[in-house]
């Protein structure tokens, strides 16, 4: 019988030797990658701890399987089980485009208030990449997970709600810039001080704990001044007010520049860097997207809003070999709830073919093992993945870009990881 992971009074996690961990298999390629991943987790834990530790997996349901088994897409039981066990892992879930139900993935994050979507992006030696120096990409994206246009506040063009809201904007707020009011759908983008500050706090805490060099706010605050611009301002505020001399911000640089000139500001920043302080800076989103290609080594920990974070995660993942190998976690650092998940979706054209790369969910599991302080098991999995890649025994996505590689099925790649642990 497994036991529950619990949060102790001092905020640390208590992880028993046989923790119950709920998992959601997911839709589309979810069952393929989960079938490959679970044996990898079990083998790594067995090998790392000589049989002293073992995960008791508990299946919970969401998406198509939940509809089949429980008659609904996202049963209450699923939320209850994640709250009860604190740590869980999931495969991807389908979201219809342009109609139908709203994202179950977003619903899980919002309902459980998993405010930080943490997506580390690094290159593994030997992985084929479209850029010349993928080794220079080593970033961790902290994507705000509960706000922004993902809050789902939007109305269809010509609906009563859209018409009423457009009328209100025109009549009460003097808005005259809705170009085609009769046929506009309307979406609303909430970005709050609390939401921003807790996300930025978790990014800075992470940077400090892991000895990272800088934290960058990625925003489009020149255009969306009171949402994305405010995110940047609140970000600097929390950095300066709560982290004092552990950080040096570009807001400070600006102030010194204004008061004492550029040379003084540069000297101050240089001194801060030499003293090991974290540089907290910001960049406008479009410039960032070109700079991650031209000079990725200037960026380290990224803090950004929901939509930017979604785009950035896939763009960065492509630089290091694609979303087949990009892991993630949805975390509330205050409650200790964490739901680990692959960055990619359900890739429906590959569903059931035992074909895709399971690394994304497997590396999400590595993040989960680290979160549980079972680092040794996580390290074995990374070693296993590196070994399989070195031997060029890989799934289709890498094989098609590598010379002389052997194409393995999804399940075979899982077995290969175990062999290389
Ligand atoms: N967190 C979640 O659960 C997410 C769910 N989704 C949902 O997934 C569905 C499909 O979305 P879509 O936009 O097609 O994005 P997907 O991420 O599902 O797939 C896009 C492409 O990415 C590549 N890919 C994805 N997963 C893997 C893998 N494991 N190994 C190798 N390559 C992979 C494939 O590329 P190629 O064709 O080049 O082989 C695939 O065609 C939608 O309903 C969407 O809402 C999307 C993102 C996240
Ligand atoms: O919920 C979805 O369907 C898409 C979510 C997504 O793309 C992501 O979390 O990266
Ligand atoms: Mg995405």
1-121+325-420 and 129-145+192-320 share one fold: yes
Residue 385: the pLDDT is 97
Residue nearest to atom 27 of ligand 1 (CA): 324
Atom of ligand 2 nearest to the CA of 104: 1
Q: What is the pLDDT of residues 395-408, one digit of tens each?
A: 999 999 999 999 99
Give the ipTM.
Answer: 0.98
Cβ distance 381 to 365 under 8 Å? yes
Over pLDDT 70: what percentage of the chain? 100
Residue 282: the pLDDT is 98
Q: What is the pLDDT of residues 147-174, one digit of tens each?
A: 999 998 999 999 999 999 999 999 999 9
Residue 25: the pLDDT is 97
Residue 97: the pLDDT is 75
Residue nearest to atom 41 of ligand 1 (CA): 347
pLDDT of 416 above 80 = yes
pLDDT of 360 above 90 = yes
pLDDT of 347 above 90 = yes
Q: CA 284, CA 307: separation in Å to the nearest integer?
A: 14
Q: CA 24, CA 238: separation in Å to the nearest integer?
A: 35
Cβ distance 206 to 140 under 8 Å? yes
Crossing angle (nearest 10°) for helices 30-49 and 410-419: 10
CA angle 11, 13, 16 (to 5 degrees): 150
Q: CA 191, CA 204: separation in Å to the nearest integer?
A: 19
Tokens linked to 180: 């085609």
Whole-number Å distance, alpha carbon 343 to ligand 2 midpoint, is: 8
Whole-number Å distance, alpha carbon 172 to ligand 3 midpoint, is: 36
CA angle 108, 344, 212 (to 5 degrees): 85
Domain ranges of the chain: 1-121+325-420, 129-145+192-320, 154-187
CATH architecture of the domain formed by 1-121+325-420: 3-Layer(aba) Sandwich (3.40)
Fold of 129-145+192-320: Isopropylmalate Dehydrogenase (3.40.718)
Mean pLDDT of the chain: 96
First to last CA, the chain: 27
Atom of ligand 1 nearest to the CA of 90: 3
Q: What is the pLDDT of residues 239-273, one digit of tens each?
A: 999 998 999 999 999 999 999 999 999 999 999 99
- Numbered residues of the known binding site: 94, 103, 105, 109, 119, 143, 310, 344-350, 357, 396, 400
Q: CA 115, CA 147: separation in Å to the nearest integer?
A: 9
Over pLDDT 90: what percentage of the chain? 94
Q: Exposed (0-12), middle (13-18) or buried (19+): which is 157, by Cβ within 10 Å? A: middle
Supply the DSSP string of 64-95, one letter for each residue.
Answer: HHHHHHHSSSS-HHHHHHHHHHSEEEE-----
Q: CA 123, CA 173: separation in Å to the nearest integer?
A: 49
Residue 263: the pLDDT is 97
- Across 308-335, average pLDDT: 95
Atom of ligand 2 nearest to the CA of 106: 1
Q: Which residue among the candidates 61, 150, 236, 243 is catalytic per the annotation?
A: 150
Residue 163: the pLDDT is 97
Q: Which residues share a beta bridge with 120?
A: 140
- Residue 115, Cα to own-chain centre: how many angstroms? 10
288 pLDDT band, cuts 50/70/90, is very high
Q: What is the pLDDT of residues 168-200, one digit of tens each?
A: 999 999 999 999 999 999 999 999 999 999 999
Q: What is the pLDDT of residues 91-120, one digit of tens each?
A: 999 987 777 778 999 999 999 999 999 999
Cβ distance 410 to 354 under 8 Å? yes
Whole-number Å distance, alpha carbon 141 to ligand 2 midpoint, is: 15
57 pLDDT band, cuts 50/70/90, is very high
Residue 31: the pLDDT is 98
Q: CA 291, CA 62: separation in Å to the nearest integer?
A: 38
Helix (H, G, I), strand (E, B) or coil at 282: strand
Q: CA 232, CA 197: separation in Å to the nearest integer?
A: 10
Listed in sequence order, the residues at least 6 apart from 99 whose beta carbon sits closer than 8 Å to its beta carbon are none
Look up 150 and say whether it is catalytic: yes
- Across 292-319, average pLDDT: 96
- Numbered residues of the known binding site for D-threo-isocitrate: 103, 105, 109, 119, 143
* Ligand 2 contacts CB of residue 103 (under 6 A): yes
Residue nearest to atom 38 of ligand 1 (CA): 397
- Across 49-66, average pLDDT: 96
9 pLDDT band, cuts 50/70/90, is confident
Q: CA 79, CA 104: separation in Å to the nearest integer?
A: 12
């Amino acid at each position: 019988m497994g036991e529950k992971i619990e949060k102790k009074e001092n905020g640390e996690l208590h992880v028993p030797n046989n923790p119950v961990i709920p998992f959601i298999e997911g839709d589309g390629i979810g069952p393929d990658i989960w079938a490959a991943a679970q044996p990898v987790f079990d083998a790594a834990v067995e090998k790392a701890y000589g049989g002293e530790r073992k995960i008791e997996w508990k299946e919970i349901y969401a998406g198509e399987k939940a509809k089949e088994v429980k008659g609904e897409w996202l049963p209450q039981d699923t939320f209850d089980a994640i709250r009860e066990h604190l740590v869980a892992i999931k495969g991807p879930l389908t979201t219809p485009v342009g109609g139908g139900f709203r994202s179950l993935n977003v619903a899980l994050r919002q309902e459980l208030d998993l405010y930080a979507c943490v997506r580390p992006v690094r290159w593994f030696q030997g992985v084929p990449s479209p850029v010349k120096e993928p080794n220079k990409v080593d970033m961790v994206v902290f994507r705000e997970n509960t706000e922004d246009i993902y809050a789902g506040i939007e109305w269809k063009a010509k609906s009563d709600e859209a018409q009423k809201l457009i009328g209100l904007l025109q009549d009460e707020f003097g808005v005259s810039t809705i170009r085609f009011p009769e046929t506009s759908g309307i979406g609303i983008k909430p970005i709050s001080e609390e939401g921003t500050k807790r996300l930025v706090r978790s990014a800075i805490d992470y940077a400090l704990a892991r000895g990272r060099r800088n934290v960058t706010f990625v925003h489009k605050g020149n255009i969306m001044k009171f949402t994305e611009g405010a995110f940047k301002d609140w970000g600097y505020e929390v950095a300066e007010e709560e982290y004092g001399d552990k950080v040096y911000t570009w807001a400070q640089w600006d102030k010194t520049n204004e008061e004492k000139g550029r040379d003084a500001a540069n000297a101050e920043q240089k001194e801060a860097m030499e003293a090991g302080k974290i540089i907290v800076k910001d960049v406008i989103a479009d410039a960032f997207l070109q700079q991650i290609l031209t000079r990725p080594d200037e960026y380290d920990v990224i803090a950004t809003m929901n939509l930017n974070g979604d785009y950035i995660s896939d763009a960065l993942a492509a630089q290091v070999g694609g979303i087949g190998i990009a892991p993630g976690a949805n975390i509330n650092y205050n409650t200790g709830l964490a739901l680990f998940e692959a960055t990619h979706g359900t890739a429906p054209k590959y569903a059931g073919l035992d074909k895709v790369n399971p690394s994304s969910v497997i590396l999400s599991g590595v993040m989960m093992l680290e979160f549980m302080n079972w680092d040794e098991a996580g390290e074995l999995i990374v070693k296993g993945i590196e070994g399989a890649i070195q031997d060029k025994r890989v799934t289709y996505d890498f094989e098609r870009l590598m010379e002389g590689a052997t194409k393995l099925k999804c399940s075979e790649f899982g077995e290969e990881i175990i062999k290389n642990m």
